Structure formats: structure tokens, C-alpha cells
Copies of this chain bind each other. A is one copy, B any other.
Amino acid sequence: MSVQKSDGMSYAPKGKPAPVVKPGEYRFAAMHLDHGHIFGMCNGLLEAGAELVKVYDPDPAKVANFVKTYPQAQVAKDAREILEDPAIRLVAAAAIPSERGPLGCRVMEHGKDYFTDKTPFTSLQQLAQAKRTVAATGKRYFVYFSERLHVECAVAAGELVQQGRIGRVVQVMGLGPHRHGPAGSRPDWFYRRAQYGGILADIGSHQVEQFLHYTGNTEATVQMAKVANYRFPQFPEFEDFGDFSVIGGNGATGYHRVDWLNPEGLCTWGDGRTVLLGTEGYIELRKYCDVAHDKAGDVLILVDHKGEQRIPVAGKVGFPFFGQLIRDSLDRSETAMTQAHIFKAAELCLQAQAVAVRVG
């Protein structure tokens, strides 16, 4: 596995190839390359056997950069060259957040499944439109919740939970610190509320998806939320801190904190952690590094009634999501994740954003 770790925007893990289809059996295209996550999304699909056939972005510079990594992608001059190509089954996209929902509806209306970078939406109206379009077209709206799906220790933790290793998971605590990086390194839309949607709607989406997954909840309510801009007064619409708490239908709860304050001295872009508190033990995920101890991430700390274990899993687990997504797309199954799960995660982070108290 080879991962560029200096900032989250270009975090694009590579895993072991584990094809679930034959060559040429599953073709996809990439459109709208605004967020670097598009590389991680394409890597995952390619490793699972999909074929990347076309790319489109209105900005030729972004396309030129993209085809350096993926020379096999034919450059489309217009979005229609992708949308109207019957050989393309899925469009992967990392548009500006506020454009992701409408783009997804357009893709689905053209008879293709859609795979977008998180966050999937910036408003509940967009979510409602996507729900209607999924119902009308029978197509799927997949989301790249990378902080679980593309992190090996997050996959491994899910397996331990499934095995009952820590009993019933009663709380998920997720910390998603992100490095802002040098001044000037982020695009304009990053600071515009109408475009990025707010910190909870954006990077909070990863968090609540993990809550639903690890606790096995299909329903939850937001109990509280907060946002602040402590360190970037030059960007008045930006939020560099947010937290929220959810109460799941089964009584498990979540607390989630996200920020853009991760200091420059950290060896990677963010000291992301998740703690799964169970009735018979707990698991701490040290995702991107084991701070001040080991630059390699993907470490699980497992404590149960027998003892304490530190379990490094980098390179041992892989990313089963992408193959499952391709099979779901071909078989119309819901193995990777259900559409209801995706929409519920989107709904909760948007609700958290909507009720958030501004504290700074």
C-alpha cells in the first residue's frame, strides 16, 4: 500500500488488486475533479477490476493532471460524451460539494449509477431530490465515505465488532482533525459556505456514517451540534471546528468532533481517531498515524476483559468496499451499503449543521 499523507485532500490509498469482474465487464468514467478524493475513488474501483474509460472536467488543467495518473482515460470534450455513452455503467465524481447532488441526479437520469465523494449533499432539498431520482430511475447514489471505507483499520474494526469482540457497541466517538495546510493551498469554494456546506455537512458526514455502521443503527436523532471559526477570521464563511452528538434508535449514541486545526508538526494530515465503546471492551482506531510513536497508521488498540492489544493492520485488510460496490451495481444488491444507510448519514450531518450553535 502506498499513500501520500501530507494532506487529506490528496489522500488516495492504493490497495491490493482484487478484481470482482472480468476485464471490460464494468466500465466507468470520472467527471468533475474538484476534490483530490477522485484519485482514491478511481484507485479503489480499478483495483476491484473496473475499467476507467473516460474523464471530463470543464477545467483542462485538472483533466491533464488526471490523465497523467490514468492515461487509459479518454478525454471527453463535453459531459454528454460520458452521460450518453451506453457502455459506461457508473460515473465517479468529486465535484464542488454543492454540485454533487444535482450532478448525481443528472447521472442517474441518464441510466447510470453515481459514485460521489463525500459529502453527498449540502442541503436537505438536494437529498430529497436524490431520493426521488433514485426511486424514479432505480439507479444508485453511492458515496465515498473514505474515513471508514478506505482505511484498513476501520474495516478491521468493523469485523471485530461483527464478531462481538467488545460486546454491544454503546458509543462511537469520532475525532476528525484535518490539516488546513499552507495559505493559498485550498480552492475558493473551500471557504464559501454555500459551496462547501459547513464543516458538519462536509467532514461530519464521514463521522455519522461511521456511527450508523458501527452501532448498527438505521435511525438516529441529532441531540446537539456546534460550529466555530476560531483561527481563520480572514474567511468569515469558513468553519474550522464543529461537533455534534446523535442518539441512535437502538440506544447507542455518537459524539463526533471535526476541525481544521491539526498542527503542521504532525507527521500526517490528521490524527484521526475513532473509539468504539462496547459493553465488554473498547477499540481505539489510530487511523493515519500512532502519534509520537509510529508514523504508520492503521493501528487498532483493543482492550477487553483479557488484556490490551496493539494491532497494526496496514496492508493486511484491503478495501472490500469497491468490489462490493461494483457487484451491487451489476447485481442490484446492497452489500457494500444500503441506499437507506447512505441517505440517513447524509440527512443526519445536514440536520446537525442546520441546528448547530455558533460558538466562536
- Could you tell me which A residues sit within 8 Å of B by CB distance? 168, 170-171, 173, 175, 177, 223-224, 226, 228, 230-231, 241, 243, 245, 247, 251-253, 255, 257, 259, 261, 263-267, 271, 275, 277-282, 284, 291-293, 301-310, 357, 359-360
Select which of B177, B309, B359 is within 8 A of A251 by beta carbon.
Answer: B359
Top 10 A-B pairs, shortest CB-CB distance: A224-B224, A292-B310, A251-B360, A265-B307, A264-B305, A292-B308, A263-B281, A265-B306, A231-B279, A170-B230
Docked CA distance A1–B247 (Å):
42
B360, A170: Cβ atoms under 8 Å? yes
Q: Considering the chains assembled together, what is the distance between the CA atoms of A243 and B271 in angstroms?
A: 23
Q: Please give the distance in Å from A284's CB to the nearest CB on chain B.
A: 7
Q: How far is the CB of A298 from chain B (nearest CB, A)?
A: 15
A224 in complex: contacting residue of B223, B230, B279, CB < 8 Å: B223
Measured in the bound complex, the distance between the Cα atoms of B73 and A211 in whole Å is 53
Pairwise interchain contact A267-B308, C-beta atoms closer than 8 A:
yes
Residues of B within 8 A of A177 (CB): 277, 282
- Cβ of A238 to closest chain B Cβ, rounded Å: 14
Q: Which residues of B contact A281 (CB under 8 A)?
A: 263, 265
Q: Is the CB of A230 within 8 A of B279?
A: yes
Please measure, in the bound complex, the distance between the C-alpha atom of A301 and the C-alpha atom of B301, giving whole angstroms: 17
A223-B224, A267-B308 provided; 4 other pairs, C-beta below 8 A?
Answer: A224-B224, A261-B279, A265-B281, A271-B303
Copies of this subunit: 2
Distance between A276 CB and nearest chain B CB, rounded to angstroms: 12
Q: What is the bound-complex CA distance between A228 and B171, given in angstroms?
A: 11
A291–B303 touching, CB < 8 Å: yes
Q: When the two chains form their complex, are residues B226 and A226 in contact, meaning their CB atoms are under 8 A apart? A: no
Complex A-B: 24 CB contacts under 8 Å: A171-B243, A173-B257, A224-B224, A241-B277, A243-B245, A247-B359, A255-B255, A255-B257, A259-B277, A261-B277, A261-B278, A263-B303, A263-B305, A264-B305, A265-B306, A265-B307, A265-B308, A266-B308, A284-B291, A291-B301, A291-B308, A292-B303, A293-B293, A293-B310
* Residues in B whose Cβ lies below 8 Å from that of A360: 170, 251-252
A253 touches B264 (CB 8 A): no
Contact residues in B for A284 (Cβ distance below 8 Å): 291
Q: Determine the residue in chain B with the shortest Cβ distance to A265.
A: B307
Contact of A282 with B305 in the complex, beta carbons under 8 Å: no
Other-chain residue from B247, B310, B359 in contact with A226 (beta carbon distance below 8 A): B247
Indicate if the CB atoms of B304 and A265 lie closer than 8 Å. Answer: yes
Q: How far is the CB of A256 from chain B (nearest CB, A)?
A: 10
Minimum C-beta distance from A217 to chain B (A):
12
Complex formed: what's the CA distance from A171 to B261 in Å?
A: 11
Minimum CB distance partner of A266 in chain B: B303
When the two chains form their complex, are residues A245 and B245 in contact, meaning their CB atoms are under 8 A apart?
A: yes
Chain B proximity of A222: nearest CB distance (Å): 10
Chain B's nearest CB lies how many Å from the CB of A36? 23
Chain B's nearest CB lies how many Å from the CB of A272?
Answer: 13
B-chain residues with CB within 8 Å of residue A243 when the two chains form the complex? 171, 245, 253, 255
Determine if A280 and B263 form an interchain contact, defined as CB atoms under 8 angstroms apart. Answer: yes
